[in-house]
C-alpha cells in the first residue's frame, strides 16, 4: 500500500468512527465533502515520511498524527472559505462546503473536524499513553491562538498587520507540526525535527509562487499568473524568478541538512529533494537540481 492510499484509508476510518450512522445526515455529507475530496495530502505525507524515517514502530499512532493534521487543515480551509473571510466558491475543484451545504453546516463541520482531530489522537494512543500529550500539544500549537493557524488568520483582522508573522503562521505552522508529530508518533524527541518542517513550509510556498509564474495551468489544475494579477505578495514579486529559485535552493539545503540522524535519514533526504523537484515545471526543476548539487558541494 503506498503512502497516499494509507492516508486516505486512515482519513476515511477517522471520519466514519467520528460520526457513526446517527449523526445528522447533512452534517455527515458536509464533513465527508470537506475531508474526502481528492487532495495532495502534503502535510500527512510529510508526517508519515518522518515517522517512517524514525522507524514507524506503531503505524496506528503515525496514522493518527497524520490524519489529525489533515483534519485540522481541512477545518481551516472550510472556515477560511466562509463568506466572512474569502467567500470562495470552489476548493479542490469542488464547490466549497458553505456553497454546497450552507453556511451553518460549514461552521459546524469545521468545528466538528477540530474536535475529531483531537479525539482521533486519543483513540489511537491507548497502547502508548505517553505519546498522547506530546502529539496533542504539537498539533494544538500548530492551529492555536498563540502562534497557530487561528492566530495567523486573526492577523488579517488587525489594522497594523505584521505580515511576515502572518505568513509564517499560516504556511509554516502545520508543516513544522507535521515533522514534529511524525517523530513524536514514532516515540522520538520531536524538537530537532521542527526546523525541517518550518523550512519545507516556506519552500512549498516559494515553489507555489514559482509555479504561478512558470507553470502550466492544465497540469496544475488551477489558473496561473494569479499572484501578479491580484498584486499578491509572493517570493517572485519580491526576489524575481532567479532570486526565488535561489531562495528555494537555500531552504531545501537547510531543510535537508537539518534532518536528525535516524534509521531512514538518507532516504528522507532523497524524498524531500525529489518531492520539490516534482513540484517545479520541468526546465525550472533541472535548474533547481543543478543549483542544489552545487550548493551541497
CA separation for the pair 27, 23 (Å, rounded)? 7
232 CB contacts (<8 Å, ≥6 apart)?
A: 226
CA separation for the pair 169, 185 (Å, rounded)? 23
What does DSSP assign to residue 90? E
Rule CB under 8 A: say whether 125 interacts with its own copies.
yes
Least Å distance between CB 205 and its own copies?
21
Element (H, E) at 94: strand 94-95
Return the number of the residue (33 or 211) whose C-beta is nearest its own copies: 33
Q: Which of 210, 197, 232, 176 is nearest to 279 (CA)?
A: 210
Contact string 11-30 vs its own copies (x = CB under 8 A): -------xxx-xxxxxx---
Least Å distance between CB 134 and its own copies?
8
Restricted to residues 127-186, the positions that interact with its own copies (CB under 8 A) are 129-130, 132-133, 136-137, 140-141, 143-148, 150-151, 153-158
| Identified binder of its own copies from the candidate list 87, 89, 103, 265, rule CB under 8 A | 103
| Identified binder of its own copies from the candidate list 93, 104, 229, 265, rule CB under 8 A | 104
Rule CB under 8 A: say whether 108 interacts with its own copies.
yes
Least Å distance between CB 131 and its own copies?
9
262 CB contacts (<8 Å, ≥6 apart)?
A: 53, 54, 55, 188, 268
77 CB contacts (<8 Å, ≥6 apart)?
A: 34, 91
Binding interface with its own copies (CB under 8 A): 18-20, 22-27, 31, 75, 79, 82, 84-85, 101-105, 107-108, 110-112, 114-116, 118-119, 121-123, 125-126, 129-130, 132-133, 136-137, 140-141, 143-148, 150-151, 153-158
Amino acid at each position: 500500500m503506498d503512502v497516499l492510499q494509507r492516508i486516505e484509508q486512515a482519513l476515511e476510518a477517522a471520519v466514519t468512527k467520528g460520526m457513526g450512522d446517527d449523526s445528522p445526515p447533512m452534517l455527515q455529507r458536509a464533513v465527508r465533502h470537506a475531508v474526502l475530496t481528492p487532495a495532495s495530502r502534503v502535510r500527512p505525507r510529510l508526517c508519515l515520511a518522518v515517522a517512517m524515517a524514525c522507524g514507524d514502530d506503531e503505524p496506528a499512532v503515525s496514522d493518527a498524527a497524520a490524519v489529525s493534521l489533515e483534519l485540522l487543515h481541512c477545518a481551516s480551509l472550510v472556515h477560511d472559505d466562509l463568506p466572512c473571510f474569502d467567500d470562495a466558491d470552489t476548493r479542490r475543484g469542488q464547490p466549497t462546503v458553505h456553497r454546497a451545504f450552507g453556511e451553518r453546516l460549514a461552521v459546524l463541520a469545521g468545528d466538528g473536524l477540530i474536535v475529531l482531530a483531537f479525539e482521533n489522537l486519543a483513540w489511537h494512543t491507548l497502547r502508548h499513553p505517553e505519546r498522547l500529550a506530546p502529539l496533542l500539544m504539537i498539533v494544538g500549537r500548530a492551529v492555536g491562538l498563540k502562534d497557530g493557524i487561528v492566530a495567523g488568520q486573526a492577523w488579517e483582522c488587525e489594522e497594523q498587520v505584521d505580515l511576515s508573522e502572518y505568513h509564517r503562521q499560516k504556511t509554516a505552522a502545520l508543516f513544522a507540526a507535521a515533522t514534529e508529530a511524525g517523530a513524536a508518533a514514532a516515540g522520538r524527541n520531536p524538537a530537532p525535527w521542527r526546523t525541517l518542517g518550518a523550512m519545507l513550509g516556506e519552500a512549498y510556498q516559494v515553489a507555489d509562487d514559482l509555479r504561478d509564474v512558470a507553470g502550466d495551468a492544465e497540469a496544475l489544475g488551477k489558473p496561473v499568473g494569479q499572484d501578479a494579477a491580484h498584486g499578491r505578495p509572493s517570493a517572485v514579486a519580491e526576489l524575481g524568478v532567479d532570486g526565488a529559485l535561489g531562495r528555494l535552493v537555500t531552504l531545501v539545503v537547510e531543510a535537508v541538512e537539518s534532518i536528525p540522524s535516524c534509521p531512514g535519514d538518507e532516504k528522507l533526504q532523497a524524498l524531500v529533494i525529489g518531492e520539490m523537484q516534482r513540484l517545479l515545471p520541468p526546465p525550472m526543476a533541472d535548474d533547481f537540481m543543478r543549483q542544489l548539487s552545487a550548493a551541497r558541494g
